[in-house]
Amino acid sequence: MPARVLITETLAAVASDWLGERADVAWCAYDDAGLDEQLSEAQGLVVRTYTIVDEGFLDRAPKLRVIGRAGVGLDNIDLEACKRRGVRVVHTPDANTQAVVEYVLALMLDRYRPRTDIPMGADAEAFHNLRKTEVGTQLDQLTLGIVGFGRIGKRLGKAAHAIGMNLWVCDLLPEVELRKAVDYPFEYVDHATLYAGCDVVSLHVDGRAGNRHMIDGDALKHLRDDCLFINAARGMLVEGDALARWAESNPRAGVALDVHDPEPPPPGSYPLYGLPNVRLLPHIASRTEQALDNMSWVVRDVVAVLEGREPGCPAV
């Protein structure tokens, strides 16, 4: 009899169809009233971002053998609790790297290369006024600070170096290890030095507890007053009230946030709403067709575990 696999969030059709040929697949949203009934029989589980797998969740899934996270980060899964219960966890660590890198580059170009379409019916004066006002800055004149030099940080550095940007990097790993992993130059600096010296600061660190609010008032005081600050990693890295105060105090600066804490951001109390130099985006850095397909293929490792084989990308 095929194993029962429960899917609680969206999955690419080609991957879910493939899984359906090898398992008894059930669908139930993570916030659906019928979730407990489905969990009671599930041997496999496929989640994305919003299904929180903690001790209480695992208590409701006594037959669970494997959890597939269709994505990269594992912040929504209690790995230690899974390990204690013998539940394997698999994910897709490189599935969205290219998508996020392209997205961050696009955010930089939005900021430094303004490009406004010619309005319908524009006369010669309006045309030439646009040419006078839409004057940008080339990226090869800028220094990019990459905070967190993992898969995405390294790929972003490679792309930015190819464009001609100057690169500064800070990371928990020692400099010698990072230099072995790439074939392009960068400056290895501490956080305060990076914040003070870079035109663009982009976060690419993980969601471990120690990184919560790493961008707080103390960190922000080092940023240049014309810096572009980008967070397409995790919302919990940023202390929202402090960032709002910094953005208000530095009108020449720019902020682009693709991730938020909480998510979605509450319309009545999120301090970063309504600020003219802050862009709030709906967590779409990894939303390309290719990346979504790549993440959905976590089902291959889910099936591998259920069939008694070792998965390709285990977290637990």
Decide: 97 and 107 in contact? Cβ < 8 Å: no
DSSP one-letter string for 5-67: EEE-S---HHHHHHHHTTSEEEE--TT-TTHHHHHTT-SEEEE-SS--B-HHHHHT-TT--EE
Q: Which position among 48, 204, 234, 260 bears the catalytic label?
A: 234
Q: Is 184 helix (H, G, I), strand (E, B) or coil?
A: coil
Where does 125-183 show beta strands of DSSP type E?
143-147, 166-170
CA distances for 214 relative to 72, 171, 195, 243, 290, angstroms: 20, 13, 12, 11, 31
Q: Which position among 41, 102, 187, 263 bears the catalytic label?
A: 263
Q: Please indicate whether residue 283 is annotated as part of the active site.
A: yes
For tokens 């464009």, the residue is 163
Q: Please indicate whether residue 131 is annotated as part of the active site.
A: no
Examine residue 282 and say whether the peptide bond preceding it is cis (omega within 30 degrees of 0): no
**Backbone phi, then psi, for 81, in 5-degree steps?**
-65, -40
Q: Please indicate whether residue 263 is annotated as part of the active site.
A: yes
Q: Which position among 60, 161, 222, 283 bears the catalytic label?
A: 283
Q: Which amino acid is at 100?
A: V
Residues forming the active site: 234, 263, 283
